[in-house]
Amino acid sequence: MKAALLVGPEKIEIGEADPPPLGDGEVRIRPVLAGICGTDISIYLGHRPAPYPFILGHEVMGRVAAVGAGVGALRVGDRVIVEPNYPCGECPLCRRGRGAVCARKGSMGVNLPGCFSEYATAPAEFVWRIPDGVSDRDAVTIEPLTVALHGLLQSGIGKGDTAAVIGCGVIGLLLVHSAAAMGARVLAHDRIEHKRELARAMGAAIVSGGEDAAGLWEREGVTAVFECAGAGATVELALSAAPRASEVILLGLSAEPAGFLPMRLVREGIQVRTSMIYDHPEDFGQAIDRVASGELEPARVVTRSFPFESLGEALRVAALGNEGKILIAME
Ligand SMILES: [Zn+2]
Ligand SMILES: [Zn+2]
């Protein structure tokens, strides 16, 4: 099959690879659209190790091409998306319902072959049929939407509340969109003006570069702060500027240390928690329902598309960090 092979840092070659074997309980998918995610970029740049040659990609919408033995609910031709993280299901964490942080989870395009190829396989339990009314572009952006929605639902934010979102990358933008759709007022912060404009288009009421966040959030009555930028400095901003009795939800994956003043957090009753991907299966089911009902339109985060043959260029553009979601047309 045709596949985009990462043969070394920043080196993509369109070549041939053996199709992934189709095991019992698995589904083979012919990708139609795929999305580029920050995880793809860090592996592409060599910041995360990969067993070269490696097939990247985990945000995929496509059609079922074949089903393995024992797969009852899906048929060849079904329009599907993949929930691309597979908790082992057996370890103590999985048994406690904490599969999102299972140390043995399989992840498409991270420690298992990805979707930037003619065929990809996934366990049927993690393949979701998409309702007819959901467009291909909305379908392929449901995976990052689910990450954002899970983060939002970790907080107590609801209709009429005010939330602040730091970092208007794809997850931040989808969080702005989800919170605004829920009836919350959203303040969005990013250093890049163009991203602030995207946030405004996704429903943010106030946008800024994050200057005087403490004063602004206090005046505006922010009760939850979502850190989606994933840098040490922005985590410190969230923890130092969060108003009294607010919640801070960390979604960004900063590899830099961040400091905080414990006395302030304790005395002012600030709750800090993390949000890692999503819980299987309820979060994906809920995200699909909210898109199917028309409440959420995650494709609004898409700013560019490239053909499959130009995946290398698409990854280079994505790595510059100026775009929203970049899609790859796989057919
Ligand atoms: Zn991702
Ligand atoms: Zn597990």
CB 252, CB 228: distance < 8 Å? yes
Q: Which ligand is located closest to the Cα atom of residue 59?
A: 1
Question: Which ligand is in closest contact with the Cα of 114?
Answer: 1
Residue-averaged pLDDT of the chain: 97
The answer on 306 and 230 residing in a single domain is no
Give distance in angstroms: CA of 211 to centre of ligand 1: 29
Distance 58 CA to ligand 2 centre (A): 20
Ion ligand 2 neighbours, Cβ < 5 Å: 87-88, 91, 94, 102
Q: Ligand 1 centre from 109 Cα, in Å?
A: 9
- Same domain assignment for residues 52 and 105: yes
CA–centroid distance, 101 to ligand 2, in Å, is: 8
Residue 134 lies in a domain: no
The per-residue pLDDT for 289 is: 98
| 14/114 same-domain check | yes
Same domain as 309, residue 205: no
Q: How confident is the model over 311-323, as a mean pLDDT? A: 97
- Smallest-distance ligand from the CA of 144: 1
Look at the chain and report how many structural domains it folds into: 2
- The CATH number assigned to the domain holding 197 equals 3.40.50.720
On whether the CB atoms of residues 148 and 88 are closer than 8 A, the answer is: no
Domain membership of residue 82 as a residue range: 2-129+297-329
DSSP 186-252: EEEE-SSHHHHHHHHHTT-SEEE-STTHHHHHHHHTEEEEEE-S--HHHHHHHHHHPPTT-EEEE-S
What's the gap in Å between 75 CA and the centre of ligand 1? 26
pLDDT for 242 equals 98
Q: Are residues 113 and 211 in the same domain?
A: no
Report which bound ligand comes closest to the CA of 142: 1
- CATH number of 73's domain: 3.90.180.10
* pLDDT tens-place string over residues 11-21: 999 999 999 99
Residue 177: per-residue pLDDT: 98
pLDDT at position 221, please?
98
User: Which bound ligand lies closest to the C-alpha atom of 141?
Assistant: 1
Residue 216 alpha carbon to ligand 1 centre in Å: 31
Instruction: Let me know if residue 171 belongs to a domain.
Output: yes
Residues 6+ apart with CB under 8 A from 235: 227, 250, 252, 254, 258
Residue 300 confidence (pLDDT) = 98
**Residue 314 and residue 218 in one domain:** no
Ion ligand 1 neighbours (CB, 5 A) are 37, 39
Q: Is residue 97 a part of any domain in this protein?
A: yes
Cα–Cα distance, 135 to 21 (Å, whole number): 29
Using the mean position of ligand 1's atoms as its centre, give its distance from the Cα of residue 171 in Å: 9
Domain contains 281: no
The residue written with tokens 């979102």 in the block is 165
CA–centroid distance for 165 within its chain: 15
- Overall residue count recorded for the chain in this entry: 331
Ligand of minimum distance to the alpha carbon of 94? 2
Which of 274, 289, 312 marks a domain boundary?
A: 274
77 and 168 part of one domain: no
Q: What is the pLDDT of residues 90-147, one digit of tens each?
A: 999 999 999 999 999 999 999 999 999 999 999 999 999 999 999 999 999 999 999 9
- Do 74 and 162 belong to one domain? no
Structure-token match 């199917």, residue found: 292
Q: Give me the pLDDT at residue 330, please.
A: 98
* Same domain flag for 270 and 213: yes
Instruction: State pLDDT tens for residues 31-46.
Output: 999 999 999 999 999 9
pLDDT tens-digit profile of 178-217?
Answer: 999 999 999 999 999 999 999 999 999 999 999 999 999 9
List pLDDT tens digits, range 229-266: 999 999 999 999 999 999 999 999 999 999 999 999 99
What pLDDT score does 39 carry? 95
Distance from the alpha carbon of residue 95 to the mean position of ligand 2, in angstroms: 7
Please report whether residue 93 resides in a domain: yes
Q: Distance between CA atoms of 64 and 79, rounded to whole angstroms?
A: 7
Same-domain check for residues 241 and 215: yes
Ligand 1: distance of its center to the CA of 52 in Å? Answer: 20
Ligand nearest to the Cα of 35, by number:
1
Q: Is residue 285 part of a domain?
A: no
Ligand nearest to the CA of 58: 1
Residue 67 lies in a domain: yes
ipTM of the complex: 0.98
Q: Considering every ligand atom, which ligand is closest to the CA of 146?
A: 1
Ligand nearest to the CA of 101: 2
Distance 54 CA to ligand 2 centre (A): 24
Inside any domain, residue 7: yes
Looking at the fold, whether 153 and 81 belong to one and the same domain comes out as no
User: How many angstroms separate the alpha carbon of residue 208 from the centre of ligand 1?
Assistant: 26
Residue 79 shares a structural domain with residue 158: no
